[in-house]
Each structure stands twice: as C-alpha cells, then as structure tokens.
Amino acid sequence: MTLETIRDCCSDQQLRAFASTCCQRIWSQYPEEWADQVFENDKMSSGRYVGPEHWKQLRGLVHALDIEAGADRRGSAGAHRQLDQFINEMAGKMSFVSQRLGDTASGPEYEVGRVTLCAARALRCAIAEDIRNNVVECAKHAAYAIGFRWNEADEWAAVDAEKRVQARLIQATLQDPGRLTAE
C-alpha cells in the first residue's frame, strides 16, 4: 500500500493519528537539545542565519498546537498563522544559507535549518483542516526531516528507511484501527 492510497482506506481520525505519529517520530529523533549539540563546535557562527533558537521556537509551536499529545485539537487560528509565518521565515533563511554555505553560512546552520524547515512543514500538514489532502505531504516532510544526512546516498537510504517505517505504521493502523504507535 502506498501513502497515496491511505486517503481512501482510513478515516480522518486515523489519518490525523498517522500524521501526528510522523511528527512525533521527528521529535524523538531530534530532542529539544539537538540543535545546541549541532552548534557546539561551530567555528563559523558569524553568519548566524539559523541557530538553535529556531529549533526551540518550532518546538514551542508544537506545544502550543498540542500535536505531541496526539489530540485532535489543531490549535487556534493564531497558532496556525504563527506556524505559517515561521515556515515563510525559515524558507527565506534556508535560501540564504544554501547560497552561502561554506562562505558565511556554516554546516550546522544548514543542518538545523533544513531539519527545522522540513519538521515545520510536516507539522503544518498534520494540523491542516483537510487531512486527506495533506497526510501524504506530512509523511514526506517527516521522512526528509528524519532522513537528513550530509552524504546524498546516505540521505536517500535514510529517507527510504523512514518511508518503510511509515508503511508499517499504516499497515498496523489498517489491521487494528485503535493501534498506532511510533516504532
């Protein structure tokens, strides 16, 4: 079964639970202190286009939206606007960092920025009103956040591995609709 076909096989509640689990897998892969650890030995911090504070800001939005609890509450309109604004700002910063990587932007800025942007996009899809049309994008962004690696071949392998985990989660949901857990 592909991600595209789950929209027809699962209820909105199951799709939302799956999307929430995809996001929870990101938070477990990258705990709150992760970004601080990435920047610990950064020698090129003069640019500081992206920093640990951006990861922490996203984690704060996660708590505000109550997605970690797997609740069906999708947050207020104000929290949605904050998340959209955050994504737009991060996309601009990442464009800047990508162009200046190795010049005035550091590797840690790229790593934290890329994972943060992918995680924010996954979160936005997970809380979208129309989950049927957003669940596939949520899973894709979550896989790219979890699969980030500096080596392209390693990254594709990690993204594929995460997609296999997601497929198992979908199968578990279809076999037992009440059971959806992150592995």
pLDDT at position 161, please? 95
pLDDT at position 40, please? 85
Sign of CA dihedral 167, 172, 175, 176: negative
Please write down the HEC assignment for all residues of 23-76. Answer: HHHHHHHCCCCHHHHHHCCCCCCCCCCCCHHHHHHHHHHHHHHCCCCCCCCCCC
pLDDT at position 79, please? 77
pLDDT at position 1, please? 59
Q: What is the residue type of 78?
A: G
Q: What is the per-residue pLDDT across 9-45, written as a single tens digit (0 to 9) for each?
A: 788 888 888 998 999 999 999 998 999 999 887 766 5
Q: What's the mean pLDDT when you consider all of the chain?
A: 83
SS3 101: strand
Q: What is the per-residue pLDDT across 66-107, written as a single tens digit (0 to 9) for each?
A: 654 444 455 667 778 889 999 999 999 898 888 877 667 788
Domain boundaries, the chain: 3-174
Mean pLDDT of 108-130: 92
pLDDT at position 22, please? 92
pLDDT at position 171, please? 81
Residue 130 DSSP one-character state: -
pLDDT at residue 113 is higher than 70:
yes
Q: pLDDT above 90 covers what percent of the chain?
A: 42
More confident residue, 46 or 59: 59
Q: Please count the helices (runs of H) and the strands (runs of E) in the chain.
A: 8, 0
pLDDT at position 89, please? 92
